[in-house]
Chain A
Amino acid sequence: MTILQIRNLSIALPKGADRPHAVEDVSLELAAGEILCIVGESGSGKSMSANALMGLLPEGVRPVKGSITYQGRDLLQADEGDLRALRGRDIGMIFQEPLSALNPLMRIGAQIAEVFEAHRLLTPVARQSRALELLHEVGLPDPKKAIRAYPFQLSGGQRQRVMIAMALALEPKVLIADEPTTALDVTTQAQILKLIEDLRRKRNMAVIFITHDFGVVADIADRVIVMQHGRIVEEGPARDVLLHARHPYTQKLIAAIPGPGGEAKDDKQGAPAILRVRGLNKIYKTGGGLFSSPRVVHAVNDMTFDLHTGETIGIVGESGSGKSTAGRCLVRLVAPDSGRVEMAGVDMASLSGADLRANRRRIQMIFQDPYSSLNPRSTIGRILTEGPVSYGTPRAEALARARELLELVGLDASAVTRYPHEFSGGQRQRVGIARALALQPDIIIADEAVSALDVSIQAQVLDLLADLKRQLNLSMLFITHDLRVAAQVCDRIIVMKQGRVVEMGSADTVLTAPEHDYTRALLEAIPGRDYERALKDATGVPACQS
């Protein structure tokens, strides 16, 4: 039974935007109890379509064509009052960013109760008790406490549950979820997905689920819509689209999914250890002072490992497990509290001043965010030459090298005169890699170097890294929360939990025969595992060839 229908919807963008229409000629139908997934790369118009349903398009963006029919009414023609009555009551929505989607100054309970208030339902007391039930229902631990909490006191996953509780409060017939799990780590993501699945089943709710993660699609979708540049390029039941994609764009997306396993790795344990880490510790104390006892976080707890020449070690673990802190201790962006970091016999952890500066060039870092890791006011040329110049290389020589590096990472050498904002995310990440290489380091630390990128671009960058590593015989520490990515590029994997190394071993062993429960839970939580197997069966090859 169709409850929602979109016909030939086009949404115009304001003048000066990157393209005239955010969404063009989109049509879709949604049946009760169905989960419809919309996938597509960033900027393809997924969110715009969803917002149009709620009548919540941003300023300057408006629908110019088509209709959205809900229970026989065209929502595009409805006035603001009617739409308001529908919002929350008939159509609920969950947003991507759990951090900012809740009002930071209001208690959770009040924010949920507001949904009832908006539709003049229940008494204030009843609203509170209903809110409590809802929190219970979405599986929040200790709902009594949570209801009195402020958003910042909850973790990302908990906040997302609150959002869901809010969206479900009035038992809407349609739930729109716009990338509700993108900001969460895998374990939490798995829980949320299960929750949505359960609720759908219990209440026969129709769900539009927007994501760019095919694993997620495979796990929950009944039907899939693939969008590109504001148009629907492919549509069909989940199995068909995922296993037998017809449109080349879909095929490309699917091909880019990194799979566990990857190619067989040669053992580099025999090579000399270039970096020896012994008993590394870092403790953060915050908020301490005269008036309160400080919050103490043991971010890195007694970490010990060796990195061999030419080897790639992956560090995985959920958010907050200390991965980044470990990486930063190694390059001394953060001063460790104790422990040794030996590089060619020199203890990096105890150096300072000029010695530190002299040794640091051998170990460089690639950063997570391609947007904030390049100075927006410097040209690419300057970004790439600053390092060598400050180590004494003449500017002209450094510039020549910068051009070479750009070619090496697959960019045009003419990019030296351009500014970061003139590049796409993937291109910027290449610049970041080039910058790390400019100092000709022996070791590279990549902290979530591909996490912010679209799958297809992610694949390109991973390929590039693998190439470079081979060509330059680099050693690499690869920090990620994505086990599949780790599996693909790493020789060995270190699993961290709450600052401790809980498991360390060759990539294959850790991924196929994990010893620690925590590792197992992490693996369990990876979405689309069944699908990957099916995909492998269907095509007979691993999802991604590197």
Chain B
Amino acid sequence: MIRFILARLLKAAVILMAILVLNFFLIHAAPGDPAAVMAGEAGATDEQFIADLRARFGLDQPLSTQLWLYIKGAAQLDLGYSYRQNMPVAQLILDRLPATLLLTLTAFVISIVLGVVAGVLAASRQGGWGDTLISAVAMIFYATPLFWIALMASLLFSVVLGWLPGFGYETIGANYTGLVRGLDIARHLILPATTLGLFFTAIYMRMTRASMLEVSRLDFVKTARAKGLRPGVIQRRHILRNALLPVITLAGLQAGQIVGGAVLTETVFAWPGIGRLMFDAINQRDYNVLLGVFFVSAAMVLLFNLITDILYVVVDPRIRIRS
């Protein structure tokens, strides 16, 4: 197992480098550069200023040199410097990462738990009104633009009802500490996490339901019934476990998008996360930040692919013993 993981990590590192190179060219393909953006904001009219900025950012060097310098840095986990923000990229990302992880992981957990429970409920009442209701609600969440739900939720719960804060990560200026701060953050988390989670909840629900129905037609379920097991036990022990396999695959995919997968939600709820950082970086052509975010995102995707694989091995003995 350890060897398996090590081998996979090695392979991932190689892939990561390749991805980095591709990303590098992708990002540099966009018209405009950070020097021009910054000069514009400063209202600078003289070319010397822009040329100086370019030289400072190393943008006057040939692209291949820039790439080489970047790769060399990245290999030592140095993601470069954001000249625009006057900060090392790694630090910028680390500053934002906790907020994003908190948001996306909460949404992730919410969506899996809600989605699977709803899916099981719907499957066990297949064709009944309960199933219809759950499926319909899921379908509507699935079909509604995310930002629309976000706007509506913030309007309703924050402005009209005043129950929950409509944006931000914590109450600014309150200087809470310890548990109170935790609760404060949790209150801020509810709206964005739920909104973000709803879409995936719908997907998990539909997937679990379909998978449950499919598994329940398999022969071993009949065997289980022939043993005289109660339907509840059959549902949990035999159907659900097998039905979760495709759900794990999907969860792996979703988890991989945890970094930067929440641009819209972070925008609407002013959540100080990576997604927003990335969006701003695109607008400002802050290449290093953008590359850094993509790097971290790709690393996450590969990491979660690995975790999914390991999880598969744990859940599905067929794979465990083969490898």
A residues within 8 Å of B by Cβ? Answer: 54, 56, 84-89, 92-93, 95, 97, 100-107, 114-115, 117-119, 150, 152-153, 163, 166-167, 287, 289-292
Contact = CB atoms under 8 A, between A and B. Distances in A.
A115 B218 contact: no
Nearest to B7: A290
B3 A291 contact: yes
Contact of A103 (B4, B224, B230, B321): B224
B321 A87 contact: no
A56 B226 contact: yes
Interface-centre pick from A105, A107, A290, A292 (highest chain B CB count, 10 A): A105
Contact of A153 (B3, B220, B316, B321): B321
B162 to A, nearest CB: 49
Given A163-B223, A291-B4, A103 B228 contact: no
A204 B76 CA distance: 76
B238 interface: yes
Given A103-B242, A150-B318, A290-B3, A95 B219 contact: yes
A167 B230 CA distance: 17
A54 B219 CA distance: 15
A287 B226 contact: no
Contacts of B322: 287
B227 A115 contact: yes
A103 B226 contact: no
Contact of B229 (A114, A289, A291): A114
B85 to A, nearest CB: 41
Contacts of B229: 84, 114, 117-118
Interface residues on B, range: 20 to 34
B56 interface: no
Given A56-B226, A92-B226, A115-B228, A100 B4 contact: no
A487 to B, nearest CB: 34
Contacts of A150: 317-318, 321
A105 B218 CA distance: 13
Nearest to A91: B226
Contacts of B220: 100-104
A292 B323 contact: yes
Given A101-B222, A103-B223, A105-B316, 6 more contacts: A88-B227, A93-B226, A104-B318, A152-B317, A291-B4, A292-B323
Contacts of A100: 218-220
Contacts of A54: 225-226
B241 interface: yes
A117 B238 CA distance: 14
Interface string B215-254: 0001110111111111001000110011000000000000
A84 B226 contact: no
A486 to B, nearest CB: 31
Interface in B1-51: 3-4, 7
Contact of B227 (A104, A106, A118, A153): A118
Nearest to A85: B228
B321 to A, nearest CB: 7
B315 A87 contact: no
Top 6 A-B pairs ranked by shortest CB distance?
A87-B228, A88-B228, A100-B219, A150-B317, A88-B227, A290-B7
B233 A118 contact: yes
B228 A95 contact: no
B228 A89 contact: yes
Nearest to B2: A291
Interface string B43-63: 000000000000000000000
Interface string B296-323: 0000000000000000000111100111
Contacts of B317: 104-105, 107, 150, 152
Contacts of A167: 226
Interface-centre pick from B7, B227, B233, B317 (highest chain A CB count, 10 A): B227
Contacts of B321: 150, 153
Contacts of A86: 228
A88 B226 CA distance: 6
A87 B225 contact: yes
Contact of B223 (A105, A117, A166, A292): A166
Contacts of B318: 104, 150, 152
B242 A104 contact: yes
Contacts of A292: 323
Nearest to A114: B227
A105 B224 CA distance: 13
Given A89-B228, A100-B218, A118-B233, A95 B242 contact: no
Contacts of A85: 228
Interface-centre pick from A92, A101, A103, A167 (highest chain B CB count, 10 A): A103
A153 B321 CA distance: 9
Contacts of B241: 103, 105-106
A291 B228 contact: no
A86 B225 CA distance: 11
Contacts of A115: 227-228
A101 B238 CA distance: 12
A103 B241 CA distance: 10
Contacts of B219: 95, 97, 100-101
B60 to A, nearest CB: 44
A102 B238 CA distance: 10
Nearest to A153: B321
Contacts of A101: 219-220, 222-223
Nearest to A112: B227
B231 to A, nearest CB: 8
Contacts of B218: 100
Contact of B315 (A88, A105, A114, A290): A105
A102 B223 contact: yes
Contacts of A153: 321
B7 A291 contact: yes
Contacts of B316: 104-105
Given A85-B228, A87-B227, A291-B4, A103 B238 contact: yes
B319 to A, nearest CB: 10
A54 B224 CA distance: 12
Given A100-B219, A105-B241, A150-B318, A287 B224 contact: no
Contacts of B225: 54, 56, 87
A453 to B, nearest CB: 22
B323 A95 contact: no
A289 B4 CA distance: 10
20 contacts: A56-B226, A84-B228, A86-B228, A87-B228, A88-B227, A89-B228, A95-B222, A101-B220, A101-B223, A103-B241, A104-B317, A105-B241, A105-B315, A105-B317, A106-B237, A114-B227, A114-B229, A118-B233, A291-B7, A292-B323
Contacts of A114: 224, 227, 229, 237
A163 B223 CA distance: 9
A118 B238 CA distance: 13
A53 to B, nearest CB: 11
A84 B224 CA distance: 11
A105 B222 CA distance: 15
A517 B222 CA distance: 40
A451 to B, nearest CB: 21
A150 B320 CA distance: 11
Contacts of B7: 289-291
A166 B229 CA distance: 13
Contacts of A84: 228-230
Contacts of B237: 106, 114
A291 B238 CA distance: 31
A153 B316 CA distance: 13
Nearest to B226: A93
A87 B226 contact: yes
A119 B229 CA distance: 8
A153 B226 CA distance: 23
Contact of B228 (A104, A106, A118): A118
